[in-house]
Structure 1
């Protein structure tokens, strides 16, 4: 009797979707759903491993040092491998953005929207997908390519594609950007939609992809088209680009949007990493440009920069070197440490 009761109760199908929240059956029906899904594609840019921590790549060269983050220390030493969190997270989250773009492209046709608007949204999704693939290409070279023909929930177990050659990845990116340019041309976003992709942003990114591939003439044509659009121009106040409101300058073609603050959700963590406590109250305040990086800048007239022109004797005066060496506060920051007379020449 007990066995029969158990068999009868187990026949009821409990594998059902929740009815009080969006699910695969009731989502992608309205414009609001399309907007929500599209914002998910954009939000991938907020991950610090995608763009927010890109300054750490400088550890590969000679213009930065890996501070207390082990990932950057291993990059600096040349001992990093596939377990390095910076590289692993970059790979992971860029593909997350690509997967989100693919889902949008797969399902936009289900939404009750004007056909022209659907094409516009497809252009956005392809621009963002191209942006994420370009970042992968720039960082890793050849990478697997998955487009909207891949249904993750069905093909997950078989998503073991080998690396696609870099040239083919680049061709895929350029095709996405051409589609985005066509879909977004002549379209204008309302002020409330600031930060969404435009034809000019797609054209500029296409130029950058070509530039990185040393296709200089083709890249120049793309950049000239951006200028000819009349929507963008070099900003006369260079310092103003880095001040509040700089993201709305004529020079800004595409910018990641933030609501303010230094939080990692909708804020701008880069200000936390690179800023000062005087400005934000709490910061790492230990990420500084290497001297070699500062010295690489030129004077306005193109001459190589030389500290000797700013502070005579800066690099040659033993007196200045000694003062700099001994200008060290004690641990409690109440007095300057003294040095034994016998060690003054060391």
Structure 2
């Protein structure tokens, strides 16, 4: 970890903690652990600091889904002003975006370690203390999950820093990191509350822990560990998410994202969210970039128009592969996947903030449109920051993980797998709306008769249609072992269908062509390498 981070936590427990919606407080100033952790209030303030990392602009408040994972077979980075970065697979160990993500993950881990080390000092109810411990353990493990996915084996640091000499920390193996993640999350699952007791998705619940454990186990079952025993665990954790009957799909796909933009919780579908707050014009400054950087492009320059409609850069756009993967029969309404025209824009906003339709054949001009600024309730809108939470886990993802895991452990789809798949598809075709008829028309034809490989391909395609632009695709492609080959196919797609005289299309083609096995992991940041003499760099960097 960077020395500046180590030094900072010798004197403070949480800096810039922010004001989360689930804690009715403004963060305190810097405090010493020696004189802190005496009361439940102080414990909650420290816990707030651990959560705060999730919503940072450099994490789920923007960069993790928008700049770290946009260039896949479902989307491309469609902004020409940035010449290098992880979104173009054009980076080195000095890349600032990569360095800052590493920094914030270890910031969050250190905050969790400080809290866990001092938690028993506080005078508070033991039941509440146990819940806090569970949340802190989960968050620490979740930050390690982000690290191991992006860098492989990393230093496991499970105690707070007590000396500026604690700098030379060697890397643990990938398996050791995952084993700790499982240990912490499994303990957390027994301590945290049900989501119905909490009432919103901005706090760690049993459903959140179980769903993320399913994600962790699926990842462990794939590349690079290939521990196929974890498919069984993934199926069990996914199946347990709805043990208490708290979850179901929102009947309207678009409403999932409208609720997020309106700052309204929907715990039936949206299980775990990174919290944002306000328009970044206040002292708290907890706004994020969701809907701004990854929204429908707005060309407005007038401040009054921007304050009214909300500015968006349109950094993320669809690939042809994703757009054409949706069934959309122009003459038969029953054969239209309604997710397409919500997830992918049909319009842009002109200089007056008025919608201008995109031509039917102009696929690559279509931005990500899931988070639409027109639904934000706060006014006037900030040009660059929004109060929109980012959903880290939602129930549709859980269903598709369950279907995938069941397919693997049963050597082909069973009834549980097929039902989970078709529940997601039915919502996509509007079949969960009141008055809907012929629900089975949306089901994947003959799914129960498919072989294991064929059903996996169905799941892979369905995850793209359902979860596109949500920061999951790159990691899915890696764990499936098809990332490099898929990106070469994307390069071919752009060469075939896009004009190479258009800068953003050429950049997208070049980014996809650039991908090799080296890009399965990030480089250890050069500053970390210079400070931590026990650190070993990843291959290729």
Taking structure 1 as the reference length, what is the TM-score of the superposition?
A: 0.73
**Following TM superposition, by how much is the alpha carbon of 1:234 offset from its aligned partner in structure 2, in angstroms?**
2.1
**Following TM superposition, by how much is the alpha carbon of 1:153 offset from its aligned partner in structure 2, in angstroms?**
3.1
Pairing 1:248–2:266 present: yes
Pairing 1:286–2:314 present: yes
Pairing 1:297–2:308 present: no
Write the mapping of 1:75-154 to structure 2, written as runs, cut at 5 A. Answer: 75=86, 77-148=88-159, 151-154=160-163
Q: 1:236 aligns with which of 251, 259, 270?
A: 251
**Following TM superposition, by how much is the alpha carbon of 1:194 offset from its aligned partner in structure 2, in angstroms?**
5.8
| Bigger relative CO (Cα 8 Å, ≥ 6 apart) | 2
Which structure shows the higher strand fraction? 2
Deviations 1:89-125 (A, max 9, x none): 1100011001001111000111101222211110010
- SS of the counterpart of 2:273? coil
What's the counterpart of residue 275 of structure 1? 295
What's the counterpart of residue 67 of structure 2? 56
Deviations 1:268-325 (A, max 9, x none): 321221235478645342313133354353217699x9xxxxx99949xxxxxxxxx9
Which structure shows the higher helix fraction? 1
**Residues 1:69 and 1:131: Cα distance change in structure 2 (over 3 Å):** farther
What's the counterpart of residue 175 of structure 1? 183
Pairing 1:44–2:64 present: no
**Contact 2:66–2:316 (Cα < 8 Å) also in 1:** no
**Contact 1:127–1:180 (Cα < 8 Å) also in 2:** yes
**Residues 1:222 and 1:302: Cα distance change in structure 2 (over 3 Å):** farther
Deviations 1:20-56 (A, max 9, x none): 9743332110000001000000111121222221222
Taking structure 2 as the reference length, what is the TM-score of the superposition?
A: 0.48
- SS of the counterpart of 1:80? coil
What's the counterpart of residue 204 of structure 2? 197
Inter-partner Cα distance in structure 2 for 1:313 and 1:266: 38
**Contact 2:77–2:88 (Cα < 8 Å) also in 1:** no
Inter-partner Cα distance in structure 1 for 2:30 and 2:50: 20
Q: How many residues align?
A: 289
**Residues 1:253 and 1:282: Cα distance change in structure 2 (over 3 Å):** closer
**Residues 1:22 and 1:144: Cα distance change in structure 2 (over 3 Å):** closer
**Contact 1:124–1:180 (Cα < 8 Å) also in 2:** yes
**Contact 2:138–2:185 (Cα < 8 Å) also in 1:** yes
**Contact 1:262–1:269 (Cα < 8 Å) also in 2:** no
What's the counterpart of residue 41 of structure 2? 32
Write the mapping of 1:306-325 to structure 2, written as runs, cut at 5 A. Answer: 314=361
**Contact 2:201–2:273 (Cα < 8 Å) also in 1:** no
**Contact 1:66–1:75 (Cα < 8 Å) also in 2:** no
